[in-house]
Structures are given as C-alpha cells and as structure tokens.
Amino acid sequence: MDSMSLVQRILAVLPFAKFARPEHKLETHQKIVRDASRRVRAEGLSGAAVSAVMKDAGLTHGGFYKHFGSKDDLLLESLREGFREIEDALAHAAELSPSREAWKAILKTYLSLDLCEYPERGCPLASLAPELARADKKLKPQIAAELANYKSRMMPFMPGRRSADKERALFVIFSTMIGAIEISRMLPERAMRERVLASTRDFLLGSF
C-alpha cells in the first residue's frame, strides 16, 4: 500500500473528515434554510434571527457568514423554501385528482385544519402577508418574483377555460383562502376555526 492511499484511508475515518466535504456544507446550508423557513412562518419575519437559526442548526453565530452574505439573503431563501414547500404540497394534491377536480383538491388541502394550526408547514402568505407588504423596498422585487412563481405553479389547476378565467379564479380563491386562514388562527377554539374553514371551503366549491 503506497503512502498516499494510506493517508486517504486515515482521513476517511477521522471525525473531522466529514466536515471537509463540500456536500456537508450544502447539507448544512439547506438545513439552516429549512429551519429558518419554518421559524419565519411560525413567528414572523423576526423569527429568522441569526442567533436562533444558527442555534437550531447546532452552529455558532460566527458561522453564519460562511453560508449567507447577509440576513436578507437568509430571509429571502427561507421565503423561497416556504413557497416551494406549499407549492409542492398543493401541486401534489392537484396531480392526484382528475383534471377538473384539481382546483378543489388544492382548496381542500390549503383550508385543512392541519395547515391552519401548524403555520410552520403552511403558506407564507397566510402567515406573513402584512409583514411582506411592509418589507424593505429592496426586497420587493424578489418577493414579487416568488409570487409570480407561485401563480405560475397554481394557474394550470384553476377552473376556467381561458387563461383570463383561470387568473381571475386564482385571485379570488387564494385571496379568500388566505383571509380565512388568517381569521381562523385568531380564534381561540378549534371548533370555531373548523367552522370558518368549512364555511369558506363550501362557499368556494359552490362558486365555480
């Protein structure tokens, strides 16, 4: 066995060797973003505090800048992750349904009691819309881009024959669902939350 292969074998079993792998840095980055995304949706934009997010990841505050250029970078990535998560969940529900029923599957998934009671798994708009409206102007273009992506993912599933009809349905359906979730989360009793969600669901199902 030559000396180089021996060194490589030793390095492979050393405890610190895994931290030298580029993929480990990527895995850590992704974990930070996932944790921050859930914190932001559960606690608001202030939930992405660097110290809290890095503690969740088991890292020091000083390691933050190895992964992000600024707190705004983390915030935008966490929002992107939140939108991706809800888009994937809604699209998955739609794709499992007959094409004419796809929008109904989206509606039932979005207005589920589970996503209402666990905002960290839900739509960023239902958790953060007022805060995003007041966000720093320099963040608005990136936020608008995420909204455009959200719209493009959901539009094909909306009711209507023409693109204009689908767009109109999307605006009405999502605006109504977002408002219903926001109101439901203010209510103290589960039965009250269920009633708001069920009433909104029945109204929308009968409207298209």
d(CA 201, CA 153): 21
Question: Class of the 20-205 domain?
Answer: mainly alpha
More confident residue, 47 or 43: 43
Gap between the terminal Cα atoms of the chain: 73
Whole-number mean pLDDT of the chain? 87
d(CA 72, CA 68): 9
Element of type H or E holding 154: helix 140-154
- The yes-or-no verdict on residue 59 having pLDDT over 80 is no
More confident residue, 141 or 68: 141
For 132-148, how does the pLDDT look when each residue is reduced to its tens digit (9 = 90+)?
999 889 999 999 999 99
d(CA 67, CA 38): 18
Share of the chain above pLDDT 70, in %: 84
For 73-117, how does the pLDDT look when each residue is reduced to its tens digit (9 = 90+)?
888 999 999 999 999 999 999 999 999 999 999 999 999 999 999
For the chain, the structural domain boundaries read: 20-205
Helices 124-133 and 71-95: crossing angle in degrees, nearest 10, is 140
- The yes-or-no verdict on residue 18 having pLDDT over 50 is no
d(CA 135, CA 72): 11
Half-sphere exposure of 38 (CA within 13 A, CB side): 13
State the pLDDT at residue 22: 64
State the pLDDT at residue 26: 73
- The yes-or-no verdict on residue 11 having pLDDT over 50 is no
Mean pLDDT across the stretch 155-181?
97
| Buried/exposed code over 118-146 (b: 16+ C-beta within 10 A; e: otherwise) | ebbebbbbbbbeeebeebeeeeeebbeeb
Element of type H or E holding 52: helix 50-56
